[in-house]
Structure 1
Amino acid sequence: MITKVTCALIEQFGRVLITQRSKTMPQALLWEFPGGKIEEGETEEACLIREIQEELNLSITPVQRLTPVVHTYGDKTIELIPYICQYNKGTIEPQEHRSYQWVVPQDLANYEWCPADIPIMQEFVALAEK
């Protein structure tokens, strides 16, 4: 079974928000775009808005869907569905993550990413370069 997970590429002032997983999470200490699992009956956009509010205390608006990535981590397979999002308001208060950074697109490749996030990061960088 594939678990559908959304992630937000939140843009502000030419930078994008990335988050570092905590030591207790799977893929510990790797970087990712924040997001979470879609609940039954929930749209991708509603999931993103809820997850980012819960995990980071931010209000966002999903703007553009990028190419989803299917990736298997051991015994579970996820479909990671990315959206470029507009930052609306809020002060970042990480609930689950160890750290966060606002990064210019050309510096994203310098971080150690969760495997499923790598193609999304690469697509985002390519878009930013256009």
Structure 2
Amino acid sequence: MKRSIKVVAAIIENEQHEILCALRSPEMSLPNRWEFPGGKVEANEDIFSALEREIAEELGCRVETFKEIFNEHIQEYETFVIHLLSIKCRIIEGFPTKSEHSTLIWLKRENLKSLKWASADIPAVEQLMNEK
């Protein structure tokens, strides 16, 4: 049976209505694919606290989450299954800087499809693009 991983992803929008996109580094699993930053939910951790912790660790800034799930998707890969919970949030302190990712960029919704996304993130990308 494949290992199942619960993961949270941050949909961070700036004042210019651009979304933060992160490119997975060549050393990461699913290398050179774009994703929304985030990470694994630890045992006994709620998803909103997990996302705030992951963004602080990965991007060196603090976010405030909107207390609802924006998109939920289960994606099966060759060796594992990801249960991805995408959550909208905003930066309340600092500015995102890359530590694990190769690149961070801000993109308008209508340009999100121009990137080569990790499969698990595609449903959230499509939902964002359909938003007004």
Whether TM-score is above 0.5 comes out as yes
Residues 24-103 of structure 1: pairs in structure 2 closer than 5 A: 24-63=27-66, 64-103=68-107
Structure 1 stretches of 5 or more lacking a match? Answer: none
User: C-alpha deviations, 1:45-99, integer Å up to 9, x for none?
Assistant: 0000000000001111111421211001111001000001112121222110000
What's the TM-score once normalised by structure 2's chain length?
Answer: 0.93
User: C-alpha deviations, 1:107-127, integer Å up to 9, x for none?
Assistant: 000001001001111011112
Taking the aligned partners of 2:90 and 2:69, their CA distance within structure 1 comes to 12
Q: How many residues align?
A: 128
Partner of 1:111: 115
Structure 2 stretches of 5 or more lacking a match? Answer: none
Alignment of 1:7 with 2:44, yes or no, is no
The 4+ residue runs of structure 1 with deviation greater than 6 A are none
What's the TM-score once normalised by structure 1's chain length?
Answer: 0.94
SS of alignment partner, residue 17 of structure 1 = strand
CA RMSD of aligned residues (A): 1.0
> What is the aligned-residue identity percentage?
31
Taking the aligned partners of 1:67 and 1:32, their CA distance within structure 2 comes to 14
Q: AA paired with 2:104? A: Y
